[in-house]
Structure 1
């Protein structure tokens, strides 16, 4: 277990109100109005390194088909972890529960409530990930906001116990991530290397993003036990990249390159290709910058059409769920660059979209987010959808 080396001063409520004014970060209420088929202000892409044996560039245009509604009646769903046998685990941010969804009929079984979660504002029980050895150790990892910080725990999932009692006591593997009313990050995922990647936010204290001694406003890379992973860019540090505002999506492409989505403030939301040790600019830069010290995003969007949360990779593209934008974005990739203009799908059809997870070669699981206090819940909300994408 790693305790953050630097104590973070709590953000005063008044300062939070100032920072959230006009902020795209998971605020702004319900769906934006009109569809936007391309990102505003798109500029030429950065040069790409040579890519021997790279996959074929996907077509400029794609398609999305809603195959079925998997489950309905979910409250404040946030994280989603597919089980090997085809069922799904979903977290409730505000109820602090983890529920198993039958992948065939949508039947819901509450595994239990995670102790120590303190839901408030944008905090609560958020990201979920299965241990790389889940088949043998049955461990589930969760990222949540406690009374004092954001932290990562792991719990034994025992399906033989009665419903509501299937989660073992949480073992804290990493703590001390700054918490706030806003910008708590929350996405966790095990990478192709077996390490745990963590998207954090700066909790409303913008200076933390550039402070490499803080875990706020970062992507972290940890061992499954919560130690700084071998090969990290900064000695004895969990920090993998920095200069982030509020990372909420993590996904790898077919060549094991990491991408991340990030909330902007008033101007640009971002999709970034993550390079270890790089500085992504916040708060000095939002979106693309003329400053060569900062790594520019692969793509950027006006905040009214995005407010990105989860991302997934399928069919040569990154698929990005939009909260305020209430749409699913497709970004076809050529290496670590956008190969064509992004496309928007499902605009306004299902409201706010929180999480998207790959479900096979051309399938995605998509989680709506209309019952989190900022959406307009419809009959059946919130729901999980199965999509076919091209």
Structure 2
């Protein structure tokens, strides 16, 4: 059965795997008309969509009861952790407080000292083929990282998007610390646009991946395809036990381009998603549900589709990473160039979304929990859509409430 998903039946020990030769494919950035792609908007569009509101990582510590957060929150920049990053995309926090950040276009993973901001390159991930929105995207640490020192990565190859895992050996010289990649899942459709790319281990220690439909809208409703889905697999790449469709890694479908994954204190999953030219979405994810694309963009009166809990015009959001903290989902906006706070009551918004940093730090790519009432926030101004400023790209540490 797993051959259908191109899943290997047997894996050798990772340390024995030979590295795949890096293949770099040049491709011109394609932006289709009316497409909210990685730049978060229709090329040449006026952004005059309707008003913003029409009504990996581990789960945070459980709190007693479930309290509704205040309608208004606050954000304070505590410090700039690091500057001078090139096309940062994925972010993972090491147990000692240092950070790992992936570079989409350079296909490298860099360690950032959490105190000094010093950058040390672990190495280049072989087999990455950067082009358009593709390249080295999300990264996540193994749930057993303390013992296996394994880093998982989602990237675009010459033929597909795939998920690999690599041993991180800190004893080796800088630039040579990544072991040979072991492919755990291949065959995710690739394109110049809509490659998805966010991965995160859930509270159940299963690996979740947000994928895109690669510009082929029909894939989102095709449950036999890995495109336009949220996937749930074991650390070894098998369909995870309890998935809604037998022997399938598909967890939910009908997505256009999933960019963010986060769990609340009750272990409920939320996901952000690029719309086309009208609505971007924040969704509460239920296994097996259909989120509507391409039949529905944003809320729909048609039966059978799971409506988003919030939606925004593409000029206000074009969301990428999300994180949960202080009773709210925090959502990074690319084209919107702002950080959104969405206070929650269960799987519904308890108040109007609130925007911070509008235009202050430019495009925002990734947000990650950094401890109690703290977040890491990563900008994305070197990805070819805007003119970078001095110091771009950067990681900020935030205090939020």
Fold shared, TM-score > 0.5 on shorter chain: yes
Task: Note the C-alpha offset of 1:20.
Answer: 2.2
**Cα distance change on mapping 1:304 and 1:5 into 2, 3 Å:** same
**What's the counterpart of residue 188 of structure 1?**
199
- The alignment partner of 1:379 has SS state of coil
**Cα distance in structure 2, aligned partners of 1:310 and 1:99:** 19
Question: Which of 284, 287, 291 pairs up with 1:280?
Answer: 291
**Cα distance in structure 2, aligned partners of 1:148 and 1:335:** 40
Please say if residues 218 and 244 of structure 1, whose CA atoms lie closer than 8 Å, have aligned partners that are also in contact: yes
**What's the counterpart of residue 42 of structure 1?**
54
Task: Note the C-alpha offset of 1:29.
Answer: 7.9
Task: Note the C-alpha offset of 1:292.
Answer: 2.0
Once the two structures are superposed, what CA deviation does each residue of 1:222-251 show, in whole Å capped at 9, x if it has no partner?
Answer: 000000000000000000000000001000
Please say if residues 331 and 367 of structure 2, whose CA atoms lie closer than 8 Å, have aligned partners that are also in contact: yes
Q: Does 1:356 align with 2:367?
A: yes
**Cα distance change on mapping 1:123 and 1:191 into 2, 3 Å:** same
Please say if residues 3 and 175 of structure 1, whose CA atoms lie closer than 8 Å, have aligned partners that are also in contact: no
**What's the counterpart of residue 37 of structure 2?**
25
**What's the counterpart of residue 304 of structure 1?**
315
Q: Does 1:249 align with 2:260?
A: yes
Once the two structures are superposed, what CA deviation does each residue of 1:297-346 show, in whole Å capped at 9, x if it has no partner?
Answer: 01000000100000000000000000000000000000000000000000
Please say if residues 41 and 277 of structure 2, whose CA atoms lie closer than 8 Å, have aligned partners that are also in contact: no
Q: Does 1:158 align with 2:169?
A: yes
**What's the counterpart of residue 143 of structure 2?**
132
Question: Which of 273, 278, 282 pairs up with 1:271?
Answer: 282
Please say if residues 35 and 41 of structure 2, whose CA atoms lie closer than 8 Å, have aligned partners that are also in contact: no
**Cα distance change on mapping 1:235 and 1:306 into 2, 3 Å:** same
Question: Which of 100, 103, 117 pairs up with 1:89?
Answer: 100
Q: Does 1:208 align with 2:236?
A: no
Please say if residues 310 and 355 of structure 1, whose CA atoms lie closer than 8 Å, have aligned partners that are also in contact: yes
Q: Which runs of 4+ in 1 moved over 6 A?
A: none
**What's the counterpart of residue 323 of structure 1?**
334
- The alignment partner of 2:153 has SS state of strand
Please say if residues 52 and 312 of structure 2, whose CA atoms lie closer than 8 Å, have aligned partners that are also in contact: yes
**Cα distance in structure 1, aligned partners of 2:190 and 2:315:** 25
Q: Does 1:388 align with 2:399?
A: yes
Structure 1 length-normalised TM? 0.91
Corresponding pairs, count:
368
Task: Note the C-alpha offset of 1:27.
Answer: 1.9
Please say if residues 68 and 385 of structure 1, whose CA atoms lie closer than 8 Å, have aligned partners that are also in contact: yes
Please say if residues 64 and 388 of structure 1, whose CA atoms lie closer than 8 Å, have aligned partners that are also in contact: yes
**What's the counterpart of residue 49 of structure 1?**
none
Q: Does 1:59 align with 2:80?
A: no
Question: Which of 80, 84, 97 pairs up with 1:73?
Answer: 84
Task: Note the C-alpha offset of 1:23.
Answer: 1.7
Please say if residues 123 and 182 of structure 1, whose CA atoms lie closer than 8 Å, have aligned partners that are also in contact: yes
**Cα distance in structure 2, aligned partners of 1:55 and 1:235:** 33
**What's the counterpart of residue 149 of structure 1?**
160
Question: Which of 185, 196, 208 pairs up with 1:197?
Answer: 208
- The alignment partner of 1:305 has SS state of coil
**What's the counterpart of residue 115 of structure 1?**
126
Task: Note the C-alpha offset of 1:121.
Answer: 0.4
Structure 1: 5+ residue stretches without partners:
7-12, 31-35, 44-52
Task: Note the C-alpha offset of 1:42.
Answer: 1.4
Task: Note the C-alpha offset of 1:40.
Answer: 2.4
Q: Does 1:371 align with 2:371?
A: no
**Cα distance in structure 2, aligned partners of 1:69 and 1:348:** 17
Structure 2 length-normalised TM? 0.89
Please say if residues 34 and 41 of structure 2, whose CA atoms lie closer than 8 Å, have aligned partners that are also in contact: no
**Cα distance in structure 1, aligned partners of 2:3 and 2:136:** 20
Task: Note the C-alpha offset of 1:61.
Answer: 0.3
- The alignment partner of 2:315 has SS state of helix
